[in-house]
Amino acid sequence: MFIQTQSTPNPSSLMFYPGKPVMEIGSADFPNPRAALNSSLAKALFGIDGITRVFFGSDFVTVTKSEDASWEFLKPEIFAAIMDFYSSGQPLFLDSKAAAAMDTAIHEDDSETVAMIKELLETRIRPAVQDDGGDIEYCGFDPESGIVKLRMQGACSGCPSSSVTLKSGIENMLMHYVPEVKGVEQELDADNEDAASAGMME
């Protein structure tokens, strides 16, 4: 098995290509070890000292490290964990229902606006973000304020350029094609939410 790596715009994240499909549909983001309990591969990667986040894309695994950890030491361990997983024949998820990210599936009760937002995210925006080793998750649209809520995942989460990407690229495209959209806001991971919402209570 030959695993290739590719850098991402986030210096703390690297993409690992095992040469096999990782996720058939959707993607999966593990912002902490607790989130990884459902996947033996994610759990094995979090077992490596210095790993802070794991993300599964269609044919890659993005691993994010702490600032003081070095790729030089982490890479061989990550290669070993990925190879062990693929040779074990285990499923990626212990509970298959948790696998598919169905955030952009269009439902019957979605308004035309929401359906258009989801379609744009799926066809135009998601492929570009996945090229950088991450993904975005649709978290909702408020028709009154015109705000679309998105969560950045994988390498895009915590990447210095992600807020720029979110604001300029994604916001401009959604506003251009869907006049009802007035802006885009980033949903933070549950861990960061407490700090963010505390400041917004006033």
CATH for 4-98 (3.40.50.2300, 3.30.565.10, 3.40.50.720, 3.30.1370.70):
3.30.1370.70
Among candidates 155, 169, 3, which has minimal Cα distance to 75?
3
The alpha carbons of the chain give a radius of gyration, in whole angstroms, of: 17
Same CATH fold assignment for domains 4-98 and 112-200: no
| pLDDT tens per residue across all 202 residues of the chain | 899 999 999 999 999 999 999 988 888 899 988 888 888 999 999 999 999 999 999 999 999 999 999 999 999 999 999 999 999 888 888 764 444 445 677 778 889 999 888 888 887 888 778 878 888 888 899 999 999 998 888 777 777 676 666 667 888 889 999 999 999 988 876 554 444 444 444 3
State phi, psi for 198 to the nearest 5 degrees. -60, -40
Judge contact between 139 and 151, C-beta under 8 A: yes
**Global confidence as pTM:** 0.61
Q: Where are the domains of the chain?
A: 4-98, 112-200
State phi, psi for 146 to the nearest 5 degrees. 75, 20
CATH for 112-200 (3.30.450.20, 3.50.50.60, 3.30.300.130, 3.40.50.12780):
3.30.300.130
Distance CA 55, CA 62 (A): 5
Q: Which two tokens stand for residue 130?
A: 């996945």
